[in-house]
Amino acid sequence: MTPLTKTDAAAAETTTAVRLRAEHVRLAYGERTVVDGLDLDVVAGTITAVIGPNGCGKSTLLRALGRLLKPTAGQVLLDGKRIDKMPTREVAKILGLLPQAPTAPEGLTVADLVARGRHPHQAWYRQWSADDEEAVAQALEWTGIVDLAERPVDELSGGQRQRAWISMALAQGTDLLLLDEPTTFLDLAHQVDVLELVRRLHQEADRTVVMVLHDLNLAARYADRLIAMRDGRIVAAGEPAEVVTESMLAEVFGLAARVITDPVAGTPLVVPIGGHAQSS
Amino acid sequence: MAVLEKTPQRVPGRPALRTRGVSLVWRPRYVLVLTIGIAVLVLGMAANIGRGEYPISIPDVLAVLMGGGDSGQQFIILELRLPRSLTGALVGGALAVAGAITQSIARNPLASPDMIGLTTGASAAAVFVIVLGGGFGTVGGFLASAGLPMAALVGGLTTAFLIYGLAWRRGVQGFRLVLVGIGLQAMLMAIVHWLLVVAEVFEAARAYVWLNGSLNARGWEHVVPVSVALALLLPAAFLLAHVLGALQYGDDTARGLGVPVNRARSLLLLVAVGLASVATASAGPIAFVALVAPQIAQRLVGGARPPIGMSLVVGAALTVISDVVARTAFGATELPVGIVTAVLGAPYLLYLLARYGREARA
């Protein structure tokens, strides 16, 4: 398995193509400023993972990148154009997003859920075109849920449901994907499942992915680029090996930890010290 | 009409019907249920028209509606009885479509126009006109007949703005909409009661019958305003139904799918308020149709939200059949149709509340 060489090559080809850019962005909910003066580039053909402690503003940042939240200062550019000036439907053809803990209406089937991803390509008279069907069939295959197509979404397990939602985002047919904590509520095996899927999307379908992740080790393993945030600022950004260091863990998470090399992937592996500090 | 073609299916559960540029999912169950619903509606209307001091059999009624029959029957049916049934069907259909829209927007079956105060807002304004505006009658002509519907529309819209404004908190959540609506509903009821107390006896009695939701003595002059409103608002509802489906997934997902959420929701709400207000102006706040009909339609068709077209048919059939019962169940005494729909609807409301309680505990 040589994922790193593959992504390095991809990155070298496309370093200049910035798909999403945040410029001096300030993000606030009402009076409360969550992110201030933040700059960020998302380069084509990469997987970017945003990490940081709870409440550091990483989900807020993702919402702003996906035009769900309008910055109170600064701007977000999608392919060089201000995202808030573009028709939201046009944005939806370029950029797909999966919110944190999305909710499906009761009684919906998986096929209907995934087909909803085609919304930006549809109109009241064009609700199920051949293109729609093709994209949905492909998205179901990608996520391995063809057999579940006629089942109600409420009957699925957590892992299956998450794959159904990712499938919906895929059916949208965008080459940019924003995923907000796609692995929450999943056990480790299903977390790996979902992230393997993300990697395949990137490698085989050339999707550019930005995701918020909680698990540092999985983030380091699956992302080309890590962004570590604390208190609404970016503290460190770069390749996993540059970002995941003992000093970063102390500064960003307030965590005493050792960083060793993942024996499987060769990426950094975080080993918390915690109560074992005395004995080590 | 272009014939849609079936093409080989790649996604299980979503067979397609397609022809140049037009495409939709083929749902045989919907078509079957809709056809049966329309048949029930037509028979219900025929039964309703046939009843009366001079009974006419259902086949005779249908014959007259198709253009046959003798001139006596034609007069009785077309001039005297058809407007009543037609008003009932149109009003019931309008209420049901309004309910389907608001229930979908709020993602809550309790959020129908009659539960969250929209029809009460329309009623309060209408009663205001009936009670305090007795003088309006002297204006006569157009103003007299347009006054009540206009007042109801203004009342419904004002209530909608109030609910929306009060429930707004960086978006609108279903349960907030319902709770705010129920609160406003109580205040509006208080206004209605106050108006009834201060009213002259004659006006109070008139208002009271109207408040129960009645189809008595409805003529073509009542059919026309509802028909015009439906002709404008129904196409809008059908056009927006596609967006309504996306709104069901919550604001963030809907925005991600390219739906201008706030604009779409405001438009849909406007259509729903328009339908509910015009319906209320024509026949009074007929209870529970807007709550129950969309839910029955959804259960019949299946799917994740009340379907607009089926709700229309169920609402119309429910109101017309309730009217048959209201007119015949108690011999010579004709009840307002709203009392029958209330008797039918109230147990369903209790069922909904009980189910919600169970889910909340689970």
In chain A, the N- to C-terminal Cα span, in Å, equals: 33
Q: Which one of A116, A140, A153, A161 would you mutate to disrupt binding with B, by most B Cβ within 10 Å of its Cβ?
A: A116
Place of tokens 């059939």: B317
Residues of chain A found within 8 Å of residue B305, distances taken between Cβ atoms: 105
Other CB atoms within 10 A of residue B235 CB: 11
Report residue A14's pLDDT band, with 50, 70 and 90 as the boundaries. Answer: very low
Nearest to B260 among A88, A103, A123 (CB): A88
CB contact under 8 A, B10 and A137: yes
Q: How far apart are the CA of B97 and the nearest CA of chain A, in angstroms?
A: 17
Q: How far apart are the CA of A99 and the nearest CA of chain B, in angstroms?
A: 6
Judged by CB atoms within 8 Å, which residues 167-206 of B form the interface with A?
Answer: 170
Report whether pLDDT(B362) > 70: no
Residues of chain A found within 8 Å of residue B12, distances taken between Cβ atoms: 111, 146, 149-150
Mean pLDDT of B181-205: 89
Report whether pLDDT(B61) > 90: yes
**Measured between alpha carbons, how far is B187 from B184 in angstroms, rounded to an integer?**
5
Report whether pLDDT(B357) > 80: no
* B259 at A interface, C-beta within 8 A: yes
Report whether pLDDT(B140) > 60: no
Helix (H) or strand (E) holding A37: strand A32-43
Interface size A-B, in CB pairs within 8 Å, comes to 123
Extract the tokens encoding A213.
Answer: 């992740």
Q: What is the pLDDT of residue A277?
A: 54
Q: How far apart are the CA of B113 and the nearest CA of chain A, in angstroms?
A: 20
Mean pLDDT of A59-77: 95
Q: Domain ranges for chain B, please list them.
A: 30-46+58-63+81-361
Other CB atoms within 10 A of residue B179 CB: 15
**Measured between alpha carbons, how far is B22 from B356 in angstroms, rounded to an integer?**
40
Helix (H) or strand (E) holding B172: none
CB contact under 8 A, A104 and B249: yes
**Measured between alpha carbons, how far is B314 from B290 in angstroms, rounded to an integer?**
10
Residues of chain B found within 8 Å of residue A122, distances taken between Cβ atoms: 242
Assess contact for A104 and A112: CB atoms under 8 A.
no
ipTM: 0.88
Side chain identity at residue B85, one-letter code: S
Q: Which residue of A has its CA nearest to B251?
A: A68
* B265 at A interface, C-beta within 8 A: no
Q: What is the pLDDT of residue B176?
A: 84
Residues of chain A found within 8 Å of residue B252, distances taken between Cβ atoms: 63, 68, 97, 99, 102
pLDDT-wise least confident of A13-17, A143-147, B88-92, B327-331 = A13-17
Mean pLDDT of B5-17: 77
Report residue B212's pLDDT band, with 50, 70 and 90 as the boundaries. Answer: confident
Look over chain B and give the mean of its residue pLDDT values, rounded to a whole number: 86
Extract the tokens encoding B7.
Answer: 């093409």
* A27 at B interface, C-beta within 8 A: no
Assess contact for B276 and B113: CB atoms under 8 A.
yes
* A239 at B interface, C-beta within 8 A: no
Given this structure, which CATH class describes domain B30-46+58-63+81-361?
A: mainly alpha
* B252 at A interface, C-beta within 8 A: yes
**Measured between alpha carbons, how far is A60 from A64 in angstroms, rounded to an integer?**
6
Q: Which residues contact B307 (CB under 8 A, 6 or more apart)?
A: B30, B100, B297, B298, B301
Q: What is the pLDDT of residues A111-122, one digit of tens each?
A: 999 999 999 999
Q: What is the pLDDT of residue B321?
A: 95
Residues of chain A found within 8 Å of residue B242, distances taken between Cβ atoms: 122-124, 127
Q: What is the pLDDT of residue B43?
A: 96
Report residue B51's pLDDT band, with 50, 70 and 90 as the boundaries. Answer: confident
Q: What is the pLDDT of residue B199?
A: 85
Q: What is the pLDDT of residue B141?
A: 46
Extract the tokens encoding A249.
Answer: 């863990």
Report residue B93's pLDDT band, with 50, 70 and 90 as the boundaries. Answer: very high
| CA atoms within a 13 Å half-sphere pointing along the CA-CB vector of B166 | 17
Cite the DSSP H helix spans in chain B: 28-50, 58-65, 71-74, 82-106, 118-132, 141-167, 174-198, 201-211, 220-247, 251-256, 261-283, 289-301, 308-328, 337-361
Q: Which residue of B has its CA nearest to A125?
A: B22
Helix orientation angle between B289-301 and B28-50, rounded to the nearest 10 degrees: 140
* B6 at A interface, C-beta within 8 A: no
Side chain identity at residue B172, one-letter code: V
Q: What is the pLDDT of residues B289-309, one digit of tens each?
A: 999 999 999 999 988 899 999
CB contact under 8 A, A88 and B255: yes
* B262 at A interface, C-beta within 8 A: no
CB contact under 8 A, A112 and B304: yes
Q: What is the pLDDT of residues B71-91, one digit of tens each?
A: 888 999 998 899 999 999 999
